Structure 1
Amino acid sequence: MHLDDRDRKILEVLQADSRISNADLADQVGMSASALWRRVRAFEDAGLIARYGAVLDPEVAGLGFQAVVHVQLTRHKSEKLDEFVRAIQTRREVLECYATTGQADYHMRVICADLKAYNDFLENFLFRMEAVESAQTNVILRAIKKDAAILP
């Protein structure tokens, strides 16, 4: 999808505040409200705008423990791999999971209430999966950059 400067401005503003009214957004980017609505609708239809949502503060939500977990699988048999992927997709503690190159097969960002809850996640879920050989945890001490916005 080709984007011009106005499209990028629309996307920048929407990522900063997805609750902005159509009229206010149109004013900010110098368009009529109807033309703006058609553009935003085209972004949605093309899949560029995947969804709208709220960004929560984990501490306020009672989720004070975050970690990046590097997971190594035992074997790459397709049925065990599929089982691992399906199981990870069901866990609320796993915010993100990426298949990667390098030493670890998967990298996950995990969030829990505290260390005890994380230990429970490891012992009663992750380490009980046949496909998991090992997991290395890097506890997140503080966020340095946490900007969810992307600009095409």
Structure 2
Amino acid sequence: MLDDTDRRILRQYQAAPETGLQDLADRCGMTATTLGRRLDRLRARGILRATRGVIDWQVLGYSVEVSLRVTLDKSVPRAFEDFVDAAREVPEVLEIQTLLGQVDVRLSVIARDLAHYQALYRDRILALPHMTDIEALMHVARLKGDETLPI
């Protein structure tokens, strides 16, 4: 699927995505034109999806992160869709994951502090539809948060 040149490009790009095209081409040992074509091809194949800004939410004053494991009422025909649609409307919900097993959905939620989390939980989270069970897991430390792939 990937040749050695593609893997080299992706390794360099992951290491420093803010690098300009010419500098990245130099690191990869090719011209900027060749690199541009290769990047376009990786994007067209869906391998390289986007360039994005990553914002450190802790620097912006959010100090609490909680994982919520939610079980939904499976007797309701659109329980999953209704729940996810409502959860997407809560700005503090950073991530929604679906799971197989006893737990149906995991939400990653941030808050400024415990008082903010408590209000958010009481006013927004508990108001989400079709929940039969919810378990909160307070994050203590992120020991690894790297999205870099071993290419």
* Common fold by TM > 0.5: yes
- Residue type of the alignment partner of 1:80: A
Q: TM-score, normalised by structure 2?
A: 0.90
In structure 2, the residue matched to 1:90 is 89
In structure 2, the residue matched to 1:127 is 126
Measured after TM superposition, the shift of residue 109 of structure 1 is 1.6
Query: Which consecutive aligned stretches of 4+ in structure 1 deviate over 6 angstroms post-superposition?
Result: none
Rounded to whole Å, the distance in 1 between the matches of 2:6 and 2:39 is 9
Segments of 5+ residues of structure 2 without an aligned counterpart are: none
Distance 1:95 1:151, change over 3 A: farther
Measured after TM superposition, the shift of residue 34 of structure 1 is 0.5
Rounded to whole Å, the distance in 2 between the matches of 1:49 and 1:103 is 34
Distance 1:12 1:76, change over 3 A: farther
**What SS class does the counterpart of residue 126 from structure 2 fall into?**
helix
In structure 2, the residue matched to 1:11 is 10
Instruction: State, as a whole percentage, how many aligned pairs show the same letter.
Output: 28
Measured after TM superposition, the shift of residue 76 of structure 1 is 4.9
Rounded to whole Å, the distance in 2 between the matches of 1:150 and 1:75 is 36
2:89 is aligned with 1:62: no
In structure 1, the residue matched to 2:104 is 105
Q: TM-score, normalised by structure 1?
A: 0.89
State whether residues 18 and 53 of structure 1, in contact with CA within 8 Å, keep that contact through their aligned partners in structure 2: no
In structure 1, the residue matched to 2:37 is 38
- Residue type of the alignment partner of 1:133: T
**What SS class does the counterpart of residue 92 from structure 1 fall into?**
coil
> Over the residues paired in the alignment, what is the CA RMSD in angstroms?
1.7
Distance 1:76 1:118, change over 3 A: farther
Distance 1:106 1:22, change over 3 A: same
